[in-house]
């Protein structure tokens, strides 16, 4: 790992929230347009987070602050490793551990809404992790390396040899971005009937830390999409934009489903699209 890639990792720490905030702001604006509303300004996510950090830190169970801070630290570490060209397996492990800390933070409260949200977050991890791991394995089969720097150095577009893996990853990406129909544990919209799910007891700076982590994670997840097109940077950027627009459309065109079909459908997509794609690569 050379100095340039270390700088990429540091740049993620510095500019990740800025890019993520703009993406989320454009998401809200486009969502509002789809619903016939004007919508908030693009910079609204920054205003919201700034206001949260100005509030008094109040928590019934103070340990939840520790777990949410740990969640942010591991999300940032995940993105830093990814953009520095590090090991995808380590990235996946750190990302999963970050969400485990978030789940513990929700369970540490006495709110039944937070507990149900935490249970649904665990179900989501069970649903999406197999596909995420298969994505890394598929990239290894093609490039011979788990390192992002080597995957980007691959001469062709990975989507041509991993089409099933790509579609499967987009499917579970909807879970990761907390978009409908898979916003099971918590939601960034007002239609979540469990109040705010696992974030019900988060308030003030604690909620601000969670929202800040979401901005970081959004950028890192879209970086994952970019890997499929990394041989052509312009194509990669256009693909990332189109993928996020599709996610926004799906979010607004679908209603949230229960955890049973979400879990089953994610495993079916993983086995059929991801599994058959990898078996095909092995046989060829």
How confident is the model at residue 183, as a pLDDT? 85
Average pLDDT on 196-216 reads 88
Alpha helices in 159-203 (DSSP H): 163-176
The tens digit of pLDDT for each residue in 130-183 reads: 999 999 999 999 999 999 999 999 988 999 999 999 999 999 999 999 898 988
The tens digit of pLDDT for each residue in 43-53 reads: 999 999 999 99
73 within 8 A of 67, measured Cβ to Cβ: no
Q: What angle do CA 228, 85, 161 make, to 5 degrees?
A: 20
Q: Is 140 strand, coil or helix?
A: helix
Residue-range domain boundaries for the chain:
3-283
- Among 94, 93, 120, 103, smallest CA distance to 68 is for 103
How confident is the model at residue 231, as a pLDDT? 78
- Mean pLDDT of all residues belonging to the chain: 90
Cα(218)–Cα(213) distance, rounded to whole angstroms?
9
């Amino acid at each position: 790992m050379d100095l340039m890639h270390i700088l990429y990792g540091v740049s993620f720490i510095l500019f990740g929230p800025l890019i993520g905030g703009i993406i989320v702001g454009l998401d809200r604006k486009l969502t509002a347009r789809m619903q016939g509303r004007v919508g908030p300004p693009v910079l609204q996510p920054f205003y919201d987070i700034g206001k949260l950090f100005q509030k008094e830190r109040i928590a019934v169970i103070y340990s939840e602050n520790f777990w949410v801070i740990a969640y942010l630290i591991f999300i940032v570490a995940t993105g830093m490793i990814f953009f520095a060209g590090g090991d995808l397996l380590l990235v996946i492990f750190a990302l999963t551990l970050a969400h485990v800390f978030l789940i513990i933070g929700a369970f540490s409260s006495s709110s039944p809404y937070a507990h149900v949200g935490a249970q649904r977050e665990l179900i989501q991890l069970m649903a999406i992790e197999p596909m995420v791991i298969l994505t890394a394995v598929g990239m290894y089969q093609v490039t011979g390396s788990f390192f992002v720097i080597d995957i980007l150095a691959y001469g062709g577009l990975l989507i041509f040899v991993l089409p099933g893996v790509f579609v499967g990853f987009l499917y579970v990406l909807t879970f990761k971005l907390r978009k409908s129909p898979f916003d099971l544990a918590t939601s960034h919209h007002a239609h979540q009937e469990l109040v705010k799910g696992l974030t019900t007891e988060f308030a003030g700076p604690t909620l601000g830390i969670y929202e800040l982590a979401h901005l970081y994670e959004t950028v890192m997840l879209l970086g994952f999409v970019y890997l499929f097109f990394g041989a052509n940077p312009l194509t990669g950027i256009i693909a990332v934009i189109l993928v996020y627009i599709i996610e926004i459309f799906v979010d607004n065109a679908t209603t949230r489903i229960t955890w049973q079909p979400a879990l089953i459908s994610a495993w079916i997509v993983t086995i059929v699209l991801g599994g058959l794609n990898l078996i095909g690569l092995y046989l060829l």
